[in-house]
Chains A and B, each alone.
Chain A
Amino acid sequence: MKEKGFTIWFTGLSGSGKTTLSKRLESELRRRGILKVELLDGDVIRTHLSKGLGFSKEDRDANIKRIGFVCKLLSRNGVVAIVAAISPYREIRDVNRKEIGDFVEVYCKCPLEVCIRRDVKGLYRKALAGEIRNYTGVDDPYEDPLKPEVTLETDRETPEQSILKIIQKLEALGYLLPAEEGVYTAEEEEKVKKRLEDLGYL
């Protein structure tokens, strides 16, 4: 494992699976022995770091910039920062990518109809009824990433498949040691089994 931290940025429509997958990824990283992990969830951030900001383009950009700034601090201090935020505008995501450097963009791709059907928070219903304004996907745009490191099709994949895709990409990028290299080669595994057998432990 590299000593330095990095940022994994989940982007996608509300209801596309960002929160669920980011939590799962956090557990998976901890299971692999990466203990310095910080999960920054957009909804939580808006009640603390970005309290008072609204949903105009200006406010949304400020929110995403703030999260990016925190990620930069965490990443450079050896922490793996995981962000789950709609972050609808491409330009500002790319600013964060440039600022942070070690940046892995994970696009939770999911058709709007599916997200509306899921409507976990009941906000699509309100937006469609005109009760709330500037709702991404309804009356505010979502700009797809052009070159995300990982694209997850969350309406077609199981969460396990999605997590595996991310882990494999992190291994390929050198942020994680491939498990087989990190523990045993096939020959070593045979030897350790023999050792345990000789001790009566198998």
Chain B
Amino acid sequence: MGLWKTKKKKVVVVGLDGVPHSFIQKMLQGGELSNFRSLLAEGSMTKMRSTTPCVSSVAWSSYMTGRNPGKHNIYGFVDRDPKSLDIYIPTSKNMGCQTLWESLGQQGKRVLVINVPLTYPPRPVNGILIGCFLCINIDKVSYPREISRTLKRMGYRIDADARQARENEAAFLEDLHETLRKRVEVGLYLYEKEEWDFFQLHLMETDRMNHFFWDGWVEESSPHRDVFFKFYREVDKALGEIVRKVDPESELIILSDHGFCPIQKEVNLNTWLREKGWLKFEGEASQDLKAIHPSSRAYSLLPGRIYFLNEDGSEQKGFEKEMISSLLELRDSPSGLNMIQKVWRREEIYRGSFERNSPDLVAVPQPGYDLKGNFAAREVSVESEMKGMHTDDDAFLYVRNHQIKSDQAEIIDVYPTILSLMKLAEEKDVDGTLLL
């Protein structure tokens, strides 16, 4: 007779925020990332599409719900109440549907989730959840709250201080390395100590490195060359330490949420809207949406989210058309290069009960043009202090012991794929599709 009791399927997920597929391949060609290299022999890796817009809050929300933003209600790191125009920071409290770990918990699985973006405040799970960098106070970062004691005892850091990257590079790098070390140390400690069926450790530090030091990757003569490579050797080492713990029977997934490319310019869409006469302020331009003049027709929140004001019916359709063609014609000076590659209409990309909170349009920039939401900037395109920006088509997904079948993987597809790996039933209104 066959086995009447199947072995419990355990799943381990490691998130490497903002690490591009193309970058990993080139690093491997250059003889770097030895731990990653040995993993490739045991599984498959593919390029993966992110979300629109491609920021971590949206991408990881779609990862952890398997649903489009119209269903999970997270559209960026900042949002506004459509009626009052109050600005707020979307958190897990605004997430309109159940997460992967909540679903697993309901099916009796224990989870251990560390640092995934948009998990603050930590919603209750069957297990442990340590929230993300949207948390400021370590006493409030975890569920159950008692875990914070362990975190403090071990010297856990929620996030590296990004301000330092501009003011004191050496201090920032030290902080970044220490934050990474502590994150992995805590992750491995809880991995051993706790009982779980699903484990996820998220490394945010890669995204931070790429934002401030991407020149170290693309320019051989960059002064950041050494620190960049040194950092990624540490990341690979950490990956090796985690992977060595995972028994061969367990499932292992490693993924990122978006790609990266060098920044050419920052593009202030609100300044452009002001130049077009579509956005006016009562008095000085400011970040306060309530100070927008009633005759205004649109405003933008980063990256590339555009909201119409006072528009309805056929008039809006005409304005929408004009806005889209104007955006696609938006050119950098003096090069004359197009800065926008695509403009999505709300109805093309968002569907669900939170669709009404979505932007009317989302502009996708050409690589190198980072779309900003600054209201008071004088110029449309300006030099950036940052070195790297996100791209939407160059995330990666690695799955051990399985062949990824789709060559058009999207981050939203990982949710149903994990449910399937854990031998759990499909969920009805998930937007992603199975990748294996």
- 8 Å CB contact of A32 from B93, B98, B372: B93
Q: Report B370-414 CB contacts with A as 1/0, cut-off 8 Å.
A: 101100000000001010000000000000000000000000000
| Chain A residue with Cβ nearest B208 | A199
Contacting residues of chain B (118-172) with chain A, CB-CB under 8 angstroms: 121, 123-124, 133-137, 159, 161-163, 165-166
Q: Which of A6-14, A135-143, A147-155, A187-195 contacts B (4 or more CB under 8 A)?
A: A187-195
Interface: A196 (CB within 8 A): yes
A residues 82-127 in Cβ contact with B at 8 Å = none
Contact B93 A195 (CB under 8 A): no
**Complex Cα distance A77/B415, Å?**
27
- Could you tell me if B77 and A31 are in contact, using CB atoms closer than 8 angstroms? no
Say whether A196 contacts B91, CB under 8 Å.
Answer: no
- 5 interchain residue pairs of minimum CB distance: A198-B162, A201-B77, A188-B136, A191-B136, A198-B163
- Convert B162-186 into 0s and 1s, putting 1 for each residue whose CB lies closer than 8 angstroms to a CB of A: 1101100000000000000000000
Interface status of A182 (Cβ within 8 A of chain B): yes
Smallest Cβ-Cβ distance to A78: which chain B residue = B124
Given known A35-B98, A200-B370, A201-B55, contact A182–B93 (CB-CB < 8 A): yes
Quick check: is A3 within 8 A (CB to CB) of the other chain?
Answer: yes
A-B contact pairs, 5 of them (CB 8 A): A31-B96, A35-B102, A195-B136, A201-B77, A201-B78
Choice from B159, B353, B384 contacting A195 with Cβ under 8 Å: B159
Which residues of chain A (152-202) have a CB below 8 Å from chain B? 179, 182-184, 188-189, 191-196, 198-202
CB distance from A175 to the nearest CB of B (A): 14
The residues of A that contact B163 with a CB separation of less than 8 Å are 194, 198
Q: How many A-B residue pairs have CB under 8 A?
A: 62
A80 CA / B16 CA spacing, docked (Å):
37
Contacts of A35 in B (CB 8 A): 98, 102
Contact of A31 among B89, B94, B133, B208 (CB under 8 A): B94
Q: How many residues of A contact B (CB 8 A)?
A: 25
- Docked Cα-Cα span, A194 to B95, in Å, equals 22
C-alpha spacing A168/B136, complex, angstroms: 26
The verdict on A33 contacting B92 (CB below 8 Å), with A196-B78, A198-B162 known, is: yes
Query: Of B92, B93, B97, B211, which is within 8 A of A200 by CB?
Result: B211
Does B302 lie within 8 Å of A33, measured CB to CB? Answer: no
Given A33-B123, A200-B372, 12 extra CB contacts under 8 A? A31-B73, A31-B93, A31-B96, A182-B93, A183-B91, A189-B89, A192-B136, A196-B78, A198-B166, A199-B162, A201-B77, A202-B373
**Taking CB as reference atom, which chain B residue is nearest A32?**
B93
- Give min CB distance, A23 to chain B, whole Å: 12
Q: Which residues of B contact A49 (CB under 8 A)?
A: none
Q: Contacts A200-B386, A202-B77, A202-B302: A192 and B123 contacting too (C-beta < 8 A)?
A: no
Contact assessment for B211 and A192 in the assembled complex, using a CB-CB cutoff below 8 Å: no
Question: Which of chain B's residues has its CB closest to A33's CB?
Answer: B123
Distance in angstroms between the alpha carbons of A96 and B208 in the assembled complex: 55
Report the separation of the CA atoms of residues A184 and B384 in the bound assembly, to the nearest whole angstrom: 30
- Cα A99 to Cα B23 in complex, Å, equals 62
Measured between C-beta atoms, what is the minimum distance from A195 to chain B in Å? 7
- A73 adjacent to chain B (CB < 8 Å): no
The one of A30, A32, A193, A198 that contacts B89, using a Cβ cutoff of 8 Å:
A193
Q: How far is B303's CA from A200's CA once the two chains are assembled, in angstroms?
A: 10
C-alpha gap A195/B57 in the complex (Å) = 14
Q: How far is the CA of A202 from the CA of B91 in the complex (A)?
A: 14
Q: Are B162 and A195 in contact (CB under 8 A)?
A: yes
B205 nearest CB across to chain A (Å): 12
- Please encode chain B, from 60 to 101, with 1 for each CB lying within 8 Å of some chain A CB and 0 for all others: 000000000000010001100000000001011111111000
- How distant is A44 from chain B, measured CB to nearest CB, in Å? 20
- Chain B residues lying within 8 Å of A30, measured Cβ to Cβ, are 96-97
Closest-by-CB residue of A relative to B167 is A198
Query: Assuming the A-B contacts A1-B124, A179-B93, A183-B121, are A196 and B136 also in contact, with contact meaning beta carbons closer than 8 angstroms in the complex?
Result: no
Interface residues of A in 17-61 (CB under 8 A from B): 27, 30-33, 35
Bits for B357-373, please: 1 = Cβ < 8 Å to A, else 0. Answer: 00000000000001011
Measured in the bound complex, the distance between the Cα atoms of B94 and A32 in whole Å is 7
Q: Which residues of A contact B372 (CB under 8 A)?
A: 200
Looking at the complex, which one of A1, A188, A193, A196 makes contact with B137 (CB distance below 8 Å)? A188
- Report whether B93 and A192 are in contact in the complex, using a CB–CB cutoff of 8 Å: no
Contact residues in A for B386 (Cβ distance below 8 Å): 200
